[in-house]
Each structure stands twice: as structure tokens, then as C-alpha cells.
């Protein structure tokens, strides 16, 4: 399925289940989902309360949830996520991250 096909299906699902949803609430939900991704990575790297493989499986789910929430946010904001990624990737791909290093201490 393409990003645009996911966009359509996610948009319908959000409208059906959350008809009064707002950009602000989806943005907060995205922060929550991102935190869950970070939690999985932390637990996976430390082996706390589960095996690395169990946390990896959780990570897969949380990355999926994060994508779904990001797509819902984009849809509510009237942004085509496929276009946004394509446009931004063209810029990011051309960057040399090493050229932007800070060479002096930050005061």
C-alpha cells in the first residue's frame, strides 16, 4: 500500500472514531507515541523487564503507531505526508551533516 492509500484509510478511521479530533490533540498523541518508541529502545538496550527481542517486537508496533498518528496529524492539518516527505527528503539528502558541526563550545 502507498503512503497515499494509508492516508486515505487512516483519515477515514480517525474521522469514524474521533469525529471531533483536532490537530492539537493529534500532536500530543504523536508526542506520546514517540515517547513509547524511545521507551522500547531504552528497554531493548538495557534488557529491563523483558528480552531484547520482546522489546524489538514492541518497537515495531510503536513505530507503526507513530506513523499512523503522524499521518492522522498531517491529514487533520491538510498536509499531504507523501509530498512533505518527498520535498523534505530532497533537501535532507543533499545535506552533509558533518559540515554543520559546531566547532566551538556553546556558551
52-76 helix and 23-46 helix, angle to the nearest 10 degrees: 170
Q: Does residue 79 belong to any structural domain of this protein?
A: yes
- Neighbour count for residue 10 (Cβ, 10 Å): 19
Grid cell, residue 96, equals 552533509
Which residues constitute the domain of residue 53?
3-100
Note whether residue 83 is domain-resident.
yes
Number of domains in the chain: 1
CATH code of the domain containing 72 = 1.10.287.1080
Please report whether residue 44 resides in a domain. yes
CA gap 89, 70 in Å, rounded: 16
Mean pLDDT, rounded, for 87-99: 86
In a domain, 107, yes or no: no
Look at residue 54 and tell me if it is in a domain.
yes
User: For the chain, give me the number of helices (H) and strands (E)?
Assistant: 4, 0
Decide if 90 is inside a domain: yes
pLDDT at 48: 82
pLDDT on residue 107: 57
Report the pLDDT value the prediction gives residue 104, as an integer from 0 to 100. Answer: 63
Distance CA 12, CA 65 (A): 16
> Averaged over 65-83, what is the pLDDT?
95
pLDDT digits (tens, 9 = 90+) for 23-58: 999 999 999 999 999 999 999 988 788 888 899 999
Amino acid at each position: 500500500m502507498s503512503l497515499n492509500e494509508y492516508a486515505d484509510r487512516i483519515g477515514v478511521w480517525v474521522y469514524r472514531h474521533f469525529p471531533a479530533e483536532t490537530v492539537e490533540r493529534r500532536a500530543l498523541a504523536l508526542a506520546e507515541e514517540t515517547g513509547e518508541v524511545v521507551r522500547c529502545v531504552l528497554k531493548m538496550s538495557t534488557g529491563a523487564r523483558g528480552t531484547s527481542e520482546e522489546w524489538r517486537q514492541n518497537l515495531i508496533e510503536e513505530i507503526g503507531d507513530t506513523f499512523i498518528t503522524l499521518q492522522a496529524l498531517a491529514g487533520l492539518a491538510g498536509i499531504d505526508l507523501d509530498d512533505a516527505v518527498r520535498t523534505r527528503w530532497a533537501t535532507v539528502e543533499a545535506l552533509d551533516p558533518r559540515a554543520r558541526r559546531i566547532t566551538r563550545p556553546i556558551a
